[in-house]
Amino acid sequence: MEINQWIREDRLINVSSSLEGGEWYASKVLKVDRKSFLIDPPQKKYGALPMVRGSKIRVGVPSDQGLFLFTSEVLVEATDQHPGVELGFPQEIFRMERRTYPRLPIRLETYYAEVRGGTGGLTFTRTMALDVSGGGLRLETNRPCPPETLLRLRFQIPAGNAGQDMIVTGRIVRTIPTDATKKSQVGVEFIDIAPRQQETLVHFVTDNLGEAKSQA
């Protein structure tokens, strides 16, 4: 697998000090050389991830083809004179299928519309997403929707004061049984989402997943 296809400038990535990918920190590729690449010091809400020269780290690269994982070595630590962290290219990259994206339980105001012969003139209905991942979400619906129904979705990912707007197309892959007192629920797979949107979404999920587990 060609490494440079997945490691390129301005790519959003996630970094973990655990080779099993236990806790993820957000980062971005700054520069790519022939045998190494430079990234922003990985950050989380409560600080930066310590990265010591010679240590091994786990890197996750989200894309529209799945989540790509590899192990890399820290070549140069971040300092005042050298603000980025230099990593060596991995020897191999592993791809996780879309369905293995971690899901974040979260209530997100979402607008959806059934797509019938195009995306123009759609009538959107307000509802809630109950969880979200890089590959899809679980959605409440006001009425039953059969599998393979195409939906246009609009929602916003919390990001600073403004937030990040998402407009994507998905298809219903399953209905989720609920009791008579609850709204219908469906599982939706994204089938038309820009790579940059998906990178942002996976970055948001992995950055907040640990906090959601601690509150469970």
Rounded to an integer, what distance in angstroms lies between the CA atom of residue 113 and that of residue 101? Answer: 25
Using the 3D structure, point to which of 55, 71, 96 is the last residue of a domain.
96
118 & 210 share domain: yes
77 & 121 share domain: no
* CA distances to 128, 146, 185 from 180, in Å: 18, 18, 12
Residue 46 has pLDDT above 80, yes or no: no
Rounded to an integer, what distance in angstroms lies between the CA atom of residue 58 and that of residue 94? Answer: 11
Mean pLDDT of the chain: 81
Residue 14 has pLDDT above 90, yes or no: no
| Structure-model confidence comparison of residues 110 and 52, the more confident one | 110
pLDDT band at 32 (very low <50, low <70, confident <90, very high): very high
Encode pLDDT of 61-84 as tens digits: 876 666 778 889 999 988 877 788
* Its pTM surpasses 0.75: no
What does the block give as tokens for 39? 């990234």
For residue 104, the cross-strand partners are 132
Q: For the chain, how many structural domains are there in total?
A: 2
CATH number at residue 11: 2.30.110.10
143 & 208 share domain: yes
pLDDT at 100: 66
Strand ranges for the chain from DSSP E: 12-16, 25-32, 36-39, 43-44, 47-48, 56-63, 66-76, 85-88, 94-96, 104-114, 125-132, 136-141, 150-157, 164-176, 184-192
pLDDT at 26: 79
Rounded to an integer, what distance in angstroms lies between the CA atom of residue 136 and that of residue 212? Answer: 18
CATH number at residue 112: 2.40.10.220
pLDDT band at 97 (very low <50, low <70, confident <90, very high): low
128 & 200 share domain: yes
10 & 32 share domain: yes
57 & 113 share domain: no
Rounded to an integer, what distance in angstroms lies between the CA atom of residue 47 and that of residue 28? Answer: 16
**Mean pLDDT of all residues in 135-155:** 89
pLDDT at 54: 92
17 & 111 share domain: no
For residue 190, the cross-strand partners are 170
123 & 200 share domain: yes
Using the 3D structure, point to which of 96, 129, 164 is the last residue of a domain.
96
What does the block give as tokens for 215? 């509150």
3: DSSP letter: G
pLDDT at 19: 61
| Structural domain boundaries enclosing 140 | 104-215
Rounded to an integer, what distance in angstroms lies between the CA atom of residue 165 and that of residue 154? Answer: 7
Question: For the stretch 48-74, what's the b/e string if a residue is b when 16 or more beta carbons lie within 10 angstroms of its beta carbon?
Answer: ebebeeeeebbbbbbbbebbbbbbbeb
Residues 6+ apart with CB under 8 A from 79: none
Residue 57 has pLDDT above 80, yes or no: yes
pLDDT band at 30 (very low <50, low <70, confident <90, very high): very high
Using the 3D structure, point to which of 72, 96, 120 is the last residue of a domain.
96
Amino acid at 19: L
DSSP string, 122-160: ---EEEEEEEE-SSEEEEEESS---TT-EEEEEEEE--T
